[in-house]
Structure 1
Amino acid sequence: MASNQQTRPGIGDLAKDTANGKLGIVMGEIGGRVQMRPVGGGIEWDAMPDNVVSPKAREELSARLAVRNANTRAGL
């Protein structure tokens, strides 16, 4: 029997913070909060674990394409 329960993204996974709608990479968990870093780099923010979910396929594709385009413009 298949489970409808989703697992929360782990360290290094792309995730969405539903409280603010931002996508980020899960960096760790400290003090009951999940630390997330913007996909393109930047300052981490704390998210409540219940607000951290896997992004929809379209959101993930958009985020990965934005990083790829930025790297191309930077000559990387």
Structure 2
Amino acid sequence: MASNQQTRPGIGALAKDTASGRIGVVMGAVGGRVQIRPIGGGREWDAVPDNVQTLSAREELSARLAIRNGNSRDRL
């Protein structure tokens, strides 16, 4: 039986903050919060660990394509 802790993305992984709907790169965790940075760079935001999920295959493909195309400004 897999726990939620095992399914959370690790540092450097793409992840979705389900509370805001934003996708970014997991940078670390401090004070019970997960720090996530937008894909295109910028200011990190804090997310509640229970709201941070691994991307579906479709979401990850879309995010990586946006990075490659340079279209990662909006909501990514």
- Normalised to the residue count of structure 2, the TM-score between the two structures is 0.83
Q: Which runs of 5+ in 1 are unaligned?
A: 72-76
Q: How does 1:6-21 map to 2 (within 5 A)?
A: 6=4, 7-21=7-21
CA RMSD of superposed structures (Å): 1.5
Query: In the alignment, what sits opposite 1:59?
Result: 59
2:39 partner letter: V
1:17 partner letter: D
Query: In the alignment, what sits opposite 1:74?
Result: none
Deviation at 1:39, TM superposition (A): 1.0
User: Hey, what's the Cα distance between the residues in 1 that align with 2:29 and 2:3?
Assistant: 21
Deviations 1:12-50 (CA, angstroms, capped at 9, x unpaired): 011000001111100000000000001111110000000
Deviation at 1:5, TM superposition (A): 3.9
- Normalised to the residue count of structure 1, the TM-score between the two structures is 0.83
Q: State, as a whole percentage, how many aligned pairs show the same letter.
A: 70
* Secondary structure of the corresponding residue to residue 25 of structure 1: strand
* Higher Cα radius of gyration: 1
Q: Which runs of 5+ in 2 are unaligned?
A: 72-76
Report the count of equivalent residues: 69
Query: In the alignment, what sits opposite 2:25?
Result: 25
User: Hey, what's the Cα distance between the residues in 2 that align with 1:5 and 1:33?
Assistant: 18
